[in-house]
Structure 1
Amino acid sequence: MKITSIEIKQYAMPLDPPFKAAWDPAPRKKFATTLVFVHTDEGITGVGSGDLMFGFQGHEHLFIGQDPFDIERHNKVLDNIDFHYGRCWPLDLALWDLMGKATGKPVAELVGGKQKKLYAYASNGEIVSPEVRAERAQRFIEEGYKAMKIRFHHDDVRDDIKVIEEVRKAVGNKIEIMVDANQGWKMPWDVERTWDLKKAYQVSKELEQLNVFWLEEPLPHEQFDEMKRLREMSGIRIAGGEMNRRWHDFREMANRGSLDVYQPDVALSGGITGVKKIAEYVQANGAWFSPHTWSNGIGVLANLHLAAGVSDCPYLEFPYDPPTWTIDRRDYIQKEKLSVDADGFVHVPQKPGLGIELDEEALKKYEINSAYVGEKQ
């Protein structure tokens, strides 16, 4: 089997009403998605998605004519592109989808096959009032969720803590609560000061009293030693690493004991090939691997396959914050939407590959750009 062509297509769905993401200063009025199709001479096509594939153009020849199963070689090329240009990891996802289809097995089985389902935690994206967040928490419980994540981003962190207090008051311990401090990285326009170690510790003490399951990204992502000190000082788990891009970041963090929970995203930081190695390394050092999944529905699927295949952590992030962030919005290019069962589990699709079934009508409706490289079939 040989790779004959690589097709990159972009889509954008208007969002009405807009999605007021905690990490953005203005509401999002559209949701953009990039799809990568890897075609072969045997008629099997792999599909991946995630980042925008900036920097990939001009490097296509490095893959055309190659065996798609030579995954370590392809991942090294992608790692080189990542170093010089941009994150092109959706191609790695497409290759795993292709290999699963060629072998007739789900990717989760190919990477380890540890389990077929994980508890989903409803990962919230908006900043809302304490009362609204408490109402949504109650709804999550009714839908079967055993855990949820609440994002901080009020001007005053005391207002963020009030949200957790209101949720605990409303639902007690019926649901686990994770907190994302959003201090690990910045959007291009964000120049506000991040927390220092003292503030992160003060917040962690408050959250410990509220029985928070983990505190995520409480410090800038490069402060490995400060995260270690916070982890040693705090009585709750410290999570992070979602935007660390290089393998050596995770090696150094794991060796120093910086985190309890490591969160690299296969769509953003190394693909399934690279993040599998990270997951195995950090778990061998006694930590958990629980990936970030906020790219799109295919990104959730890809991270689900790897987490189910190798992870010891019981939870998977499930981006969900209705009414403005729904499964239909997140999975708009997919015919089969990924959902959670009545007991709060998200199940690994048992179809070959990643289990992606694209919605052809949605693809036609929302396509905005495409590129085709190599010989068409």
Structure 2
Amino acid sequence: MELVDYELYPVPPRWLFLKLETSDGTVGWGEPVVEGRAHTVRAAVVELVEDYLLGEDPLPVADHWERLYRGGFYRGGPVLSSALAGIDQALWDIRGKHFGAAVHELLGGPVRDRVRVYQWVGGDRPEGVADAAREQVDAGFTALKMNATPELERIDSPATVQAAADRLRVVRDAVGPHVDVGVDFHGRATVAMAEQLVEALEPHDPFFVEEPVAPEHADALPRIAERTSTPIATGERCYHRTDFRPLLEAGAVDVVQPDLSHAGGITECKRIADLAATYDASLAPHCPLGPVALASCLQVDAVAPNALIQEQSLDIHYNGSADVLDYVADPSVFDYEDGFVQIPDGPGLGVAVDEDALAAASREPDWHNPVWRRADGSVAEW
């Protein structure tokens, strides 16, 4: 058996699907994308597949990962790691189908049969959060996540800090103490603002505060953590276990959030989960993406004892033109019940992609994140 062909499908809302095909007709699927940079990642996937994989036996996934990662002198970062991630997902999908086993069985077998999920509320500039929170809890979710703030000044007003606290307070009042509410800073705050915000939010019992500062300022996370007992979560813009190691060594992160479509795929994210467990940190993979990325996350969640909760993109504010179930042949694989989703147990990733739907929707990617500006016209973090 050898890899003989591939196809890439850019589809709305902002996703890129990779199909790898073998000489015996086995197909593997991956999601290699950087949201807003799909063209760039697609070019990297084409280079990697054509230079390293076509004509090769797809089964030695670990060796392929090493060749794709170390075969280029310049490595890592969001583009190359995301291209590698999607290829890795597709290779694991093929390997599982070849052996007639779910990926988690090939990784040692599951430690759980279902994973808790959370639902997004409130949008980019969070509003209407209390009503949205009640609606999602009524739908059965037991955990939510919301953005903390819209764009921020470098040192913002007391009113802005109070508004963030009030926003979480009304959600807490709406859903009560038995529903968990994560708060995502989205890297929008400076270190000084993050320190104020984590203190202001703490009385309303956030589940965790996510990405309090942009990743280039992650060295300040210990300083921020000293200001709160709330768990600190981060990692969606980390691309390799060595990006997480200094944060864990410093005791600066309680919940690691690698993205299975950005941080080297299943192979690398399993290593990140194991590294986090060494420091008694939890795993909560980042996944505002499509069904292949979600299925990949769940395969790692299945075998990671420290898996805490899983992000998923159903009805997320990015998905106006398409949603996570639109490209799967059997949407029931992601049925949510009592705030949990079952681990897919079919061969490979356990999700059947609807290729006809992909082909019908495929078009040049046109999603880019907004560029926000502060009151003085300078560019703000989105």
Q: Which residue of 1 aligns with 2:371?
A: none
The separation in 1 between residues aligned to 2:47 and 2:322, in whole angstroms, is 35
Counterpart of 2:113? 116
Out of 45, 54, 57, which is 2:43 matched to? 54
% same residue:
26
1:184-217 deviation digits (Å, cap 9, x = unpaired): xxxxxxxxxx533332122111221001110000
| 1:89-108 equivalence runs, <5 A | 89-108=85-104
Matched, 1:36 2:33: no
Counterpart secondary structure, 1:55: helix
Kept in 2, the 8 Å contact 1:298–1:331? The answer is no
- 176, 179, 190: which one aligns with 1:175: 179
In structure 2, distance between residues paired with 1:207 and 1:326? 30
Shift of 1:157: 4.4
Q: Deviations over 1:143-181 (max 9, x none)?
A: 211100001232434333322111112222131100000
Q: Answer whether contact 1:141 1:174 (CA < 8 A) is retained.
A: no
Shift of 1:236: 0.5
Q: Take 1:232 and 1:157, find their aligned partners in 2: how far apart are those partners?
A: 18
The aligned residue for residue 365 of structure 1 is 360
Matching of residue 288 in structure 1 with residue 270 in structure 2? no
1:287 to 1:38, Cα distance in 2 relative to 1, 3 A: same
In structure 2, the CA distance between the partners of 1:70 and 1:322, relative to structure 1 (3 Å rule), is: closer
Task: State the shift of 1:76 in Å.
Answer: 2.0
CA distance in 2, matches of 1:49, 1:280: 23
Q: Is the contact made by 1:44 and 1:98 (CA closer than 8 Å) also made in structure 2?
A: yes
Q: Cα gap change, 1:162/1:78 in structure 2, threshold over 3 Å: closer, same or farther?
A: farther
Seen in structure 2, the aligned counterparts of structure 1 residues 41 and 321 have a Cα distance that, compared at 3 Å, is closer
TM superposition shift of 1:320: 3.4
Kept in 2: contact 1:215–1:237 (CA 8 A): yes
Give the secondary structure class of the aligned counterpart of 2:226. Answer: helix
In the alignment, which of 264, 274, 283 is matched to residue 268 of structure 2?
Answer: 274
CA 1:224–1:128 in 2, change beyond 3 Å: closer, same or farther?
A: closer
Instruction: Tell me the secondary structure at the aligned position of residue 15 of structure 2.
Output: strand
Determine the C-alpha separation between the residues in 1 that align with 2:61 and 2:318: 38
Per the alignment, residue 373 of structure 2 pairs with: none
- Segment drifting more, 42-51 vs 120-129: 120-129
SS of 2:216 mapped into structure 1: coil
Superposed CA offset, 1:11-54 (max 9, x none): 334xxxxxxxxxxxxxxxxx133221222222211111131333
Relative distance call for 1:321 and 1:38 in structure 2 (3 A) is closer
Distance 1:129 1:284 in 2: 35
For residue 102 of structure 1, give the secondary structure of its aligned residue in structure 2. helix
CA 1:360–1:92: 2 relative to 1, 3 Å = closer
Q: Residue 121 of structure 1: CA displacement? A: 0.8
Q: Is the CA contact 1:327–1:339 (under 8 Å) kept in the aligned structure 2?
A: no
Map 1:253-268 → 2, pairs under 5 A:
253-268=247-262
Q: 2:314·2:323 contact (CA, 8 Å) conserved in 1?
A: no
Count of aligned residue pairs for this structure pair: 341
Does 2:55 match 1:65? Answer: yes
Letter in 2 for 1:342: E
- Name the structure where strand makes up a greater proportion of residues: 1
Name the counterpart of 1:144.
Answer: 140
Aligned to 1:26: none
Residue 235 to residue 352, structure 1, CA distance change in 2 (3 Å): same
Q: Which range moves more in the overlay, 115-124 or 333-342?
A: 333-342
Q: Aligned partners of 1:56 and 1:323: how far apart in 2?
A: 27
Counterpart of 2:344 in structure 1 is 349
Q: Which residue of 1 aligns with 2:244?
A: 250
Q: Distance in 1 between matches of 2:15 and 2:192?
A: 39
Name the TM-score, length of structure 1 as normaliser. Answer: 0.83
CA contact (8 A) 1:35 1:50 kept: yes
User: SS of the counterpart of 1:319?
Assistant: coil
Gaps of 5+ in 1: 14-30, 184-193, 371-377
Distance 1:349 1:274, change over 3 A: same
TM-score by length of 2: 0.82
Counterpart contact for 2:125–2:149, Cα < 8 Å: no
How many angstroms apart in 2 are the aligned matches of 1:122 and 1:332? 18
Contact 1:179 1:214 survives alignment (8 Å): yes
After superposition, the C-alpha distances for 1:321-371 in whole angstroms (9 at most, x for unaligned) are 46874896123221222544331111111110112212244123212379x
2:126–2:148: 8 Å Cα contact kept in structure 1? Answer: no
> Corresponding residue for 1:374?
none
What is the match of residue 17 of structure 1?
none
Of 347-356 and 304-313, more deviation after overlay is shown by 304-313
Give the deviation of 1:10 after TM superposition: 2.0
**Contact 1:124–1:148 (Cα < 8 Å) also in 2:** yes
Structure 2 unaligned spans of 5+: 152-159, 366-382
d(CA) in 1 for partners of 2:190, 2:359 = 47
- Separation in 1, partners of 2:58, 2:173: 53
Shift of 1:314: 3.0
Secondary structure of 2:94's counterpart equals helix
Greater CA drift, 276-285 or 245-254: 245-254
CA offset digits 1:95-114 (Å, max 9, x no partner): 01111111111112222422
Matching residue's letter, 2:222:
K
